[in-house]
A and B are shown apart, each in its own frame.
Chain A
Amino acid sequence: MDTRLPDDAGQLADAATRRFRRLGGVDAARRAEADPATRETARKALDELGVFDLDVRADADQLLAGAVLCRAAGAVVLPWPLIPHLMRVSGRHLVLIDPGHVRVDHGAVGLSWLGANVTGSAWPLEAGPPDVAGRLGPFVTGAVLGEEQPGRIDSDDIARYLTLQSWTILGALESALAEVTGHVRTRHQFGRALSQFQAVRFTMADVTIAVRGLEQLAKLTIWRLGRGDADQRVADAMALRLHAAETAVTTLRASHQMYGALGFCDETDLSVLDRHLQPSLRYPLSAERLARALVPFAGSGALTSRIA
């Protein structure tokens, strides 16, 4: 049992964090919101990190490399569709969708898209109208389904996608938590730091534990993706993704409560992290729909609480 990241994955994570910091951290997302064309700088940063040579299907090491990159990207809500790029199929960028209501984050970035639902049915997508982007998910576009393509997306690809999405969420939550932890330590009310009030301390304890738990589950899940049968792998990934979404809702809610009104202002990273993370939390399926999709796996025994 050793839950530490291997050295090379840790080094890649550090390099990505440094590179994204040079890009401005969360400021890159702010800039992109004002001028979407600046997203190109995020693409260039990813290119410099060797992301476009990564083959996450090739082996466990490259998949883990993809995951730590997603975590670092999530920490700054990097304005580029990293997961679709890592998961591209025959030159098309894979995006998991709800075919009844197709939405693509960063759909207008000028890529060729392949949409798939969580059971593997796939369609070429023409991203574009309706123009639905709002404050939550400012880069979301609608998309039109093409002709359903023959064959299905490999369930392992569905599992990888959901796992990478969960690592992205993890990165964003760690980032939000770090900012809010700093805030409650330095913000004084009634003559003392917020961190001296028991209600604040207990809330921070609960959300910190929740995010640490998510980190452990994310590591376990990516380790298990190379093991067991296909049903188990996709169930594991869906379970992680469900847990990530629900941990995010709890953590971000608590973070806003701790931050007060300032946390809703875009000058704080929390506001930008929360708004830009929303598509990762809601697409392809909401948490409750994911839970319902997992019920047959729990019934069949493919979803278990076992670890090894």
Chain B
Amino acid sequence: MDFELGERADDVRSQLREMLRAGVPDDFLGAFTDDPADLELTMRFCAELAEAGLLCIGWPAEYGGGDGTVWDQTVVREEMWAWHEPRGPQYMGVNWVGPAIMRHGTPEQKARHLPPIAAGSVIWCQGFSEPEAGSDLASLRTTATRDADGWLVSGQKVWTSYAAMASWCVLAAVTAPSEPTSRRLTLFLVPMDRPGIEVRPIASMLGPHHLNEVFIDELRVTDADVLGTPGDGWRIMRDALAYERVGIARYARCEALLERVREFLRDGWDDLPESVRTRWVRALIEIRVAKLLAYVAVGGEDGVDDAAASAARIVTTTLDQTVAELLFEALGSAALDTGTDAALHGAVEDHWRYAQAATVASGTIEIQRVITARDILGGR
């Protein structure tokens, strides 16, 4: 048994922390704010990460990656999330869009899409959820209809994070309505500025950019835009969603915020009610467990294990909400303060808001339980 992540992973962590200190200000709370400078910062930082060979460290070198281990990539994920994800929305391109293109893309798609993801210069969004198909993704209604020039897509997507920022979308559409789920859907790689796409932001407690509606009206796509083969969309999506579930190291921000709040409180930590401090103890333990289960999910010999990813997701998302409440308790009446003068520049308030969506996003906690139960009990 060995719980060391490896010498290179440790070096990567040190290098990342140095870059974060130098390139990300203390009051940075992520790219998804009302200040466009925050998005610009993430674009700059991603380019720096790419230049240093860290953005796609786990990718094969032939696609612009660093040939690193899964643990090197894990360290990048942890350090980025701990500091409010200065990759902005680009984590998604690194975590699953790029790997899906590597596995299922044509040589032309690989040549076109992988270099910009590896260079940190492109933002992708994911056009999966629809008003009538949230957890039940297989019931999508957006339809791609065959014609002589390729396909015409019409329908509506919803909850599409970063859609207004993105230049590309992985769009899921029905291409064989009468086929069973496993052959009904196709994924298309579509530029967001192509005629027929309209994005409308949704105001939410999460803050700007997290939630959008995407209206699709006779969007022209061609065979060259298909990822994999027509009808193969569900299989690729399931694959991608397993990666997405472990793609955000929520436990790492919990760990960082508990540490930062303890430092912020200084002697005030001793004055916290005993019940808050014992919850704190339990939260530290839960973080360890969440981290270990995430490592089990990504550390398998055959890539990310579906059921293990769901188990890790359940633990880390509930942890996120537990820690959010705990930190609010610790800050007391200062908890709701935002802005640069607030405790930790409002990082705790920001965390609490985002944590509310943890057990809904990327497949609800109920869906994760369905997957886990299928693994242990069989059935559907």
Q: How far is the CA of A187 from the CA of B288 in the complex (A)?
A: 36
Any B CB within 8 A of the CB of A37: no
Tell me which residues from 252 to 275 in chain A have a Cβ below 8 Å from any Cβ of chain B: none
Given contacts A201-B377, A298-B281, are A209 and B3 in contact (CB under 8 A)? Answer: no
Provide a sorted-by-A list of 28 A–B residue pairs whose CB atoms are within 8 angstroms: A1-B5, A1-B71, A1-B299, A2-B2, A3-B1, A3-B296, A6-B1, A64-B1, A185-B378, A201-B370, A202-B366, A204-B373, A204-B377, A205-B369, A206-B369, A208-B372, A209-B372, A213-B315, A214-B289, A217-B292, A219-B3, A242-B282, A291-B282, A295-B278, A298-B277, A298-B280, A299-B277, A305-B251
Tell me, yes or no, whether B295 is within 8 Å of chain A by CB: yes
Which residues of chain B come closer than 8 Å to A298, judged between CB atoms?
277, 280-281, 284
Query: What A residues does B258 contact at CB under 8 A?
Result: 305
Write the chain B residue with the least CB distance to A220.
Answer: B3
Asked if A288 lies at the interface with its beta carbon under 8 angstroms from chain B, I say yes
Task: State which residues 1-26 of B face A: CB under 8 Å.
Answer: 1-6
A291-B278, A292-B278 known; A217-B1 Cβ under 8 A: no
Q: How far is the CB of B291 from chain A (nearest CB, A)?
A: 6
| Whole-angstrom distance between the Cβ of B296 and the nearest chain A Cβ | 7
> B residues within 8 A CB of A94?
none
Among B262, B293, B299, B376, point to the contact of A213 (Cβ < 8 A): B293
Which of chain A's residues have a CB closer than 8 A to the CB of B193? none
Report Cα–Cα, A243/B292, bound state, in Å. 14
Asked if A239 is an interface residue, CB under 8 A from chain B, the answer is: yes
Quick check: is A196 within 8 A (CB to CB) of the other chain? yes
Q: Smallest CB-CB separation from A215: which chain B residue?
A: B292
Q: Does the CB pair A1–B314 fall under 8 Å?
A: no
A contact residues around B295 at 8 Å (CB): 1, 3, 216
CB 8 Å contact bits of B270-299 with A (1 = contact, 0 = none): 100010011011111101111111011001
Q: Are B373 and A201 in contact (CB under 8 A)?
A: yes
From residue A208, how far is it (CB to closest CB) to chain B in Å? 5
* Cβ proximity bits A173-205 to B, threshold 8 Å, 1 near / 0 not: 000000001001100000000011000011011
Q: How many A-B residue pairs have CB under 8 A?
A: 136
Write out the residue numbers on chain B whose beta carbons fall within 8 Å of the beta carbon of A4.
1
CB–CB B293/A209 < 8 A: yes
Cross-interface CB contact of A216 among B289, B314, B370, B378, cutoff 8 Å: B289
Instruction: Enumerate chain A residues within 8 angstroms of B291, measured Cβ to Cβ.
Output: 305, 307
Task: Tell whether B38 is near chain A: CB-to-CB under 8 Å.
Answer: no
A303 at the interface (CB under 8 A from B): yes
With both beta carbons as reference points, the residue of chain A lying nearest to B270 in the complex is identified as: A299
A residues less than 8 Å from B282 (CB atoms): 242, 246, 291
Q: A18: which B residues are within 8 A, CB to CB?
A: none
Kindly state whether residue A101 has any CB partner on chain B within 8 Å: no
A5 touches B274 (CB 8 A): no
Tell me if A239 and B293 are in contact (CB < 8 A): no
List A residues at the B interface (Cβ < 8 Å): 1-6, 64, 181, 184-185, 195-196, 201-202, 204-206, 208-209, 212-214, 216-217, 219-220, 222-224, 239, 242-243, 246, 288, 291-292, 294-295, 297-299, 303-308
Across the interface, which residues of B come within 8 angstroms of A196, CB to CB?
Answer: 379
Contact A303 B289 (CB under 8 A): no
Does B289 lie within 8 Å of A243, measured CB to CB?
yes
Can you list the 9 inter-chain pairs with the closest CB atoms, starting with the nearest? A305-B287, A201-B373, A216-B292, A205-B372, A291-B278, A213-B289, A205-B369, A195-B377, A205-B373
In the assembled complex, the Cα of A1 lies from the Cα of B295 at a distance in Å of 9
Cβ distance A246 to chain B, nearest Cβ, rounded Å: 8
0/1 string, B348-380, CB within 8 A of A gives 1: 000000000000000000100110110011110
Q: B264 — which chain A residues lie within 8 A by C-beta? A: none
B187 to chain A, nearest CB (A): 29
Residues of B contacting A: mostly: helix
Docked Cα-Cα span, A212 to B292, in Å, equals 10
The verdict on B311 contacting chain A, using a C-beta distance below 8 Å, is yes
Across-interface contacts of A202 in B (CB, < 8 A): 366, 369, 373
Tell whether, in the assembled complex, residue B284 and residue A181 are in contact, meaning their CB atoms are under 8 Å apart: no
Q: Is the CB of A243 within 8 A of B285?
A: yes
Interface pair A208/B376, CB less than 8 Å apart: yes
Question: For the complex, what is the distance from the CA of A300 to the CA of B376, rounded to whole Å?
Answer: 40
Q: Give CA–CA (A185, B255) in the complex, Å.
A: 39
CB of A1 within 8 A of CB of B366, answer: no
Q: Among the listed A214, A224, A239, A246, which residue makes an inter-chain contact with B3, where contact means beta carbons less than 8 Å apart?
A: A224
Give chain B residues whose Cβ lies under 8 Å from the Cβ of A184: 377
Whole-angstrom CA separation of A64 from B281 in the bound complex = 26
Contacts of B299 in A (CB 8 A): 1, 3
Given A181-B377, A212-B311, is A303 in contact with B270 using a C-beta cutoff of 8 Å? no
Instruction: Give the docked Cα–Cα distance between A97 and B224 (Å).
Output: 71
Contact of B285 among A6, A205, A217, A306 (CB under 8 A): A217
Does the CB pair B284–A239 fall under 8 Å?
A: yes
| Chain B proximity of A307: nearest CB distance (Å) | 5
* A305 CB → nearest B CB, Å: 4
Complex: chain B residue closest to A216, CB-CB:
B292
Q: Which residues of A contact B283 (CB under 8 A)?
A: 305
Cα distance A306–B75 in the bound complex, in angstroms: 13
Which parts of B114-169 form the interface with A (CB within 8 Å)?
none
Contacts of A292 in B (CB 8 A): 274, 278
Nearest opposing residue in chain B for A208, CB measure: B376
A307 cross-chain contacts in B, Cβ below 8 A: 3, 288, 291-292
Distance from A159 Cβ to chain B, minimum over Cβ atoms (Å): 15
Q: How far is the CA of A206 from the CA of B377 in the complex (A)?
A: 13
Residues from 317 to 371 in B contacting A, C-beta threshold 8 Å: 366, 369-370
Known: A201-B373, A298-B277. 4 other contacts (CB 8 A): A209-B293, A222-B1, A242-B282, A299-B270
